Homo-oligomer: A and B are copies of this chain.
Amino acid sequence: MSTLPQQKIDEVRSIFQAFLKKRNKRQTPERFAVLEEIYQTEDHIDADELYVRLKQDGTEVSRATVYNTLELLLECDLVVRHQFGKNQAKYERAYSYWQHDHLICMDCNELFEFCDPRLQSIQEMVADIYEFEIKHHSLNMYGHCIRENCPNRAEDSDRDEADSADKTTAKKAATNEAES
């Protein structure tokens, strides 16, 4: 599953190498270890989990190095960081994987990915109007999934009917979008 074709590993490695050289940074084994660990990971991973996995794989690294290396990988676009919540920064390999957005279940924290081309045009339009050079975007949709293994499966039975009342308010406001 997580076995990545050697070719791809070499590819990202050499990209990283080139980047480091251009920046006059050292090519240390730790840095490449971090790179590979991320690319061996299909889904999103946070810094600490990355640290743990590296240790498990026998690589002696410190958290400082992990964070440091992540920063470099972000700068050369080999890795993307997603800030999902207050304390939920997750990292993900980025090279030759399509840009996507996220759908998050607020009950089970399950993560889904989707992609809609319209976002690209929205981005271009916004860049144009505001005279911005947009580097990247982050679109997260939060809600409740309706899967059986999700805590929310029982539906909005009693949990917080408390705010179901003001939901009407919200709903009302939401319906007429033209209000702007």
Which residues of A line the B interface, CB within 8 A? 15, 18-19, 22-23, 75-77, 83, 85-86, 89, 95-96, 98-99, 103, 105-106, 112, 114-147, 160, 162-163, 165-167, 169-180
Copies of chain A in the complex: 2
A138: which B residues are within 8 A, CB to CB? 138-140, 142
* A135, B23: Cα distance in complex, Å: 43
* A120, B138: Cα distance in complex, Å: 16
Name the one of B83, B135, B174 contacting A85, with C-beta atoms under 8 angstroms.
B83
- Are the C-beta atoms of A132 and B143 separated by less than 8 Å? yes
Kindly provide the distance from the CB of A168 to the nearest chain B CB, expressed in whole angstroms: 10
Name the one of B75, B128, B130 contacting A178, with C-beta atoms under 8 angstroms.
B130
Kindly provide the distance from the CB of A169 to the nearest chain B CB, expressed in whole angstroms: 6
- Are the C-beta atoms of B145 and A132 separated by less than 8 Å? yes
